């Protein structure tokens, strides 16, 4: 194994305000354990119950999105890339918590996802509430990803959701999503 300097990693984490981070496979058991650890951590912070629940629910939504996408790809027989190997972080930026997640995506799945996120970025709180209620009344499509969850994250966020796409090659990219609460 090459020399690995955890001090550099710690400096990077600290410079980004990251308080909690997990990178690896997102099984249901891991999500549950992480959820309990995040809850215990957030309870030690000076947060209102509503703020604690918002941070927790966005954290869970993001980890489940990574897991659900991986499960969809696994069911299709895609084994060329570990779609379940992602990252989630909770950090601070001033008075706000920032919950971010990242995972591998097939490039063909980027456009519908970014179109939805771009639409949400342009809506105010009232419009987000209306869209959320409309989505609740619609029958959920099997292939529909991130609909209600993304809308709910947008409703809870103090700022519009931010995303980043890093193209890896012709077929794959890495998708990052951040919610500021």
Give the chain's domains with CATH numbers.
Answer: 6-180 (3.30.565.10)
- Which of 78, 84, 98 shows the shortest CA–CA distance to 16? 98
pLDDT digits (tens, 9 = 90+) for 56-108: 999 999 999 999 998 888 888 876 778 888 999 999 998 899 999 999 999 99
The pTM for the full model equals 0.89
Task: Give the ranges where the chain is alpha helix by DSSP (H).
Answer: 6-15, 28-43, 49-75, 110-121, 125-137, 147-156
Q: What Rg, from alpha-carbon coordinates, does the chain have? A: 17
CB 100, CB 178: distance < 8 Å: yes
**C-alpha to C-alpha distances, 101 to 105, 123, 127, 144, 156, nearest whole angstrom:** 13, 22, 25, 19, 16
């Amino acid at each position: 194994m090459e020399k690995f300097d955890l001090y550099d990693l710690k400096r990077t984490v600290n410079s980004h305000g990251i308080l909690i981070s997990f990178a690896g496979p997102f099984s249901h058991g891991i999500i549950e354990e992480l959820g309990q650890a995040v809850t215990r951590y957030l309870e030690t912070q000076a947060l209102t119950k509503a703020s604690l629940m918002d941070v927790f629910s966005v954290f869970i939504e993001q980890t489940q999105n990574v897991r659900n996408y991986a499960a969809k790809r696994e069911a299709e027989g895609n084994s060329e890339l570990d779609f379940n190997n992602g990252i989630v972080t909770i950090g601070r930026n001033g008075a706000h918590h920032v919950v971010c997640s990242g995972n591998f995506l097939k490039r063909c799945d980027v456009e519908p996802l970014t179109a939805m996120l771009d639409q949400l970025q342009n809506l105010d709180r009232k419009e987000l509430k209306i869209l959320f209620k409309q989505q609740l009344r619609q029958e959920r499509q099997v292939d529909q990803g991130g609909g209600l969850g993304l809308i709910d994250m947008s409703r809870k966020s103090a700022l519009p959701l931010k995303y980043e796409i890093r193209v890896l090659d012709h077929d794959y990219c890495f998708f990052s999503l951040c919610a500021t609460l």
